[in-house]
Amino acid sequence: MKKISALLLALTMVLTPLTGCGSSSTNGASDTPATRDTSADIVVIGAGGAGMTAAIQAVQDGATNVVIVEKMPITGGNSVRSTGGLNAAETKYQERDGIEDSIDLMVEDTMKGGKNLNDEALVRTLAENSAAAVDWVNDIGGDLSVVGMFGGASVKRIHRPTDTSAVGPMLVTTLNKKVKELGIPVLLNTKAEEILVDSNGAVTGVKVSDAEGTYTINAKAVVLATGGFGANPEMVVKYKPDLAGFDTTNHKGATGDGIVMAEKIGAAFVDMEQIQTHPTVNPTDQTMYTEGVRGNGAILVNKEGKRFVNELETRDVVSAAILEQTDGQCYLVFDQAVRDSLKAIEEYINAGIIFESDTVEGLAEQIGVDPAALKETMDQYAGYQASGTDPDFGRESMEVPLTKAKFYAGLCAPAIHHTMGGVKINTQAQVINTEGNVIPGLFAAGEVTGGVHGANRLGGNAVADIVVFGRIAGSGAHAYVMENGGTTEPVIKAATGTGEVKPEVEANFKDGTYTGVGQGKGGPITVEVVVKDGEVVEINVTEISDTKGIYENAVEGVIPQIIKKQTTEVDVVGGATLTSQGIMDAVAKALEAAK
Ligand code: ADP
């Protein structure tokens, strides 16, 4: 069965943050900050994986008045870019595959990977709740069922979608759908500026800003889920000066706002200088080749055509080894068998960043490496694979001999990937202040927190982290609300469809929901178009595989124009021409059935 690698962009979930009845106006003289002040029981800051998980869990526990604020025009943050999967021990899928794993082994691997700098209590909480996290994602409509090998794990532990596609789009689509289904309002383009506290230091709300100004959402509990600071070069260099000038794999909203807000109210921080580079990022377009490519058999060779490291070492070790090679770069080399084993590779091939040839020598010529040297390396590796020992670098898992034509190579270098440090939390996801006490009402989860990953995060542990601690933060926030006055009726309501962007001209389509497919830069783009009262009122992108921030810009630029003008003949977004065109074509195809 074809499983769509879906990225449901909640663009049309733009809401009007008003108190009271939905008909009040935010325009004109009455729009003073005071009139826009509003309230919720729980405010979640950030609609990435951790924030949406926390909001959903809180509602599943019984919370009735939860709102998520998200500064970007779409949900998903860095989570949507996550390519690997979710590390979990003692799952039913491991049992099905006969994989022997344990909580202790996951703790041991994670501590070892993190150079024992990790907070062991947090790591144990991560491992103990990881199998339940897999089940939870699947229960809310997700798809984590294939178990694979990843760097730093002693056994197959990473859980991925059935079709081996990237985990992030699947997870974010699933969370978006659940958020929508539960009617949790997401205030897009709404930035949290400040966490408000009373004289005892307990949380009282969040000051937020949007295009129309600043207002306060009073709240009993706040979940901080703003992600990391990998896209804030000044903050990166402040904590780790030797990363000056590095590229980043992060989305542009990963600027560490949560760090700044938490610092102002006295939160403690841990491991801020621990910033991870991902070893295999394409230096031209910052596409990150998932570790799964190496996990499924690929090797790394330098510009002299030689291997230089155990490719399955932890990210810090592999990154450091690459930086020692000529130009600080290397090639990720694999064969047809690896390509066939991992759907994510199709995206790299579609993006035009992979060299390919029928022979090893032909590949070497294309990438400017001595053909004889590369051939010798590949032949030698096939021998190591056959014997099961790698005398050069001690690589243990060698899935395939890399002898099946075609042969492929992609240029790579390390780039800033994950900020391991952050706000100090305890195992209940409560934020700790500089005096070692809990900040009442403040919970945090995901990349904004520190301690789970220590000095180096293992691939697959970020998704485990956001689901496990997102759930704990959501449950904790709801329990705190119950202890402090209980739940209340929702004040901010989720939009029911049309959102902020409204048609500006009349149209005469047939009412219904239509699907259309267009071609983007990295593969197909699928949209779902909702027509109500003759007009296109909602467009959701349900499948997109274009890389980096390109789709964000295209979606943000094109979809509101189509809704406003009721035509697909709109301007393309500069720098995202193919993606824009792909979206327009997809909508046009969908609307053919609505004529
Ligand atoms: P995690 O993996 O921890 O969930 P993500 O990067 O996926 O982290 O998500 C964090 C989200 O928080 C992003 O969507 C980001 O745009 C959002 N965010 C960051 N700072 C703010 C802020 N000041 N106000 C609202 N949202 C924010």
What pLDDT, on a 0 to 100 scale, did the predictor assign at position 308? Answer: 98
Is the pLDDT at 560 greater than 80, yes or no?
Answer: yes
Reported confidence tier of residue 3, pLDDT bands at 50, 70, 90: very low
Tell me how far the alpha carbon of residue 47 lies from the centroid of ligand 1, in angstroms: 6
Q: Is the CB of 192 under 6 A from ligand 1?
A: yes
Tell me how far the alpha carbon of residue 227 lies from the centroid of ligand 1, in angstroms: 5
Q: Is the CB of 254 under 6 A from ligand 1?
A: yes
Report the distance separating Cα 153 and Cα 498, nearest Å.
Answer: 46
Q: Is the CB of 168 under 6 A from ligand 1?
A: no
Predicted TM-score of the model (pTM): 0.78
107 to 112, 116, 356, 414: CA distances (angstroms): 8, 10, 40, 26
Q: Is the CB of 175 under 6 A from ligand 1?
A: no
Q: Is the CB of 172 under 6 A from ligand 1?
A: no
Mutation choice for ligand 1 from 67, 69, 71, 556, CB with most ligand atoms inside 8 A: 71
- Ligand 1 closest atom vs CA 53: 4
Q: How many residues does the chain have?
A: 595
Average pLDDT of the chain to the nearest whole number: 90
Report the distance separating Cα 11 and Cα 348, nearest Å.
Answer: 26
Going by CA atoms, what residue is nearest to atom 16 of ligand 1?
253
Report the distance separating Cα 367 and Cα 304, nearest Å.
Answer: 11
Reported confidence tier of residue 522, pLDDT bands at 50, 70, 90: confident
Report the distance separating Cα 230 and Cα 269, nearest Å.
Answer: 16
Catalytic positions are: 315
Is the pLDDT at 21 greater than 90, yes or no?
Answer: no
Residue matched to tokens 């943000």? 556
Is the pLDDT at 315 greater than 90, yes or no?
Answer: no
- Ligand 1 closest atom vs CA 191: 24
Secondary structure (DSSP) of 171-189: HHHHHHHHHHHTT--EETT
Report the distance separating Cα 233 and Cα 255, nearest Å.
Answer: 8
Q: Is the CB of 351 under 6 A from ligand 1?
A: no
State CA 337 to chain mean position distance.
Answer: 27
Q: Is the CB of 47 under 6 A from ligand 1?
A: yes
Going by CA atoms, what residue is nearest to atom 17 of ligand 1?
46
What pLDDT, on a 0 to 100 scale, did the predictor assign at position 34? Answer: 52
Going by CA atoms, what residue is nearest to atom 8 of ligand 1?
227
DSSP state of 248: B
Q: Is the CB of 46 under 6 A from ligand 1?
A: yes
Reported confidence tier of residue 461, pLDDT bands at 50, 70, 90: very high
Reported confidence tier of residue 318, pLDDT bands at 50, 70, 90: very high
Reported confidence tier of residue 237, pLDDT bands at 50, 70, 90: very high
Reported confidence tier of residue 549, pLDDT bands at 50, 70, 90: low
Read off the pLDDT of residues 474-517 as tens digits, 9 standing for 90 and up. 999 999 999 999 999 999 987 654 346 778 888 999 998 898 99
DSSP state of 242: G
Reported confidence tier of residue 541, pLDDT bands at 50, 70, 90: confident
Tell me how far the alpha carbon of residue 53 lies from the centroid of ligand 1, in angstroms: 12
Q: What dihedral angle (degrees, nearest 10) is formed by the CA atoms of 455, 105, 425, 488?
A: 140
Helix/strand/coil (H, E, C) string of 484-530?
CCCCCCCCCCCCCCCCCCCCCCCCCCCCEEEEEEEECCCCEEEEEEE
What pLDDT, on a 0 to 100 scale, did the predictor assign at position 6? Answer: 33
Report the distance separating Cα 476 and Cα 107, nearest Å.
Answer: 23
Cis peptide before 565 (omega within 30 of 0): no
Mutation choice for ligand 1 from 226, 235, 449, 461, CB with most ligand atoms inside 8 A: 226
- Ligand 1 closest atom vs CA 74: 14
Least confident interval from 315-319, 417-421, 468-472, 543-547: 543-547
What does the pLDDT average to over 79-92?
94
What pLDDT, on a 0 to 100 scale, did the predictor assign at position 526? Answer: 85
Is the pLDDT at 325 greater than 50, yes or no?
Answer: yes
454 backbone φψ class: left, alpha, beta (φ>0; ψ -120 to 50): left
What pLDDT, on a 0 to 100 scale, did the predictor assign at position 242? Answer: 86
Most confident of 149-153, 259-263, 497-501: 259-263
DSSP H or E run through 532: strand 524-532
Is the pLDDT at 57 greater than 80, yes or no?
Answer: yes
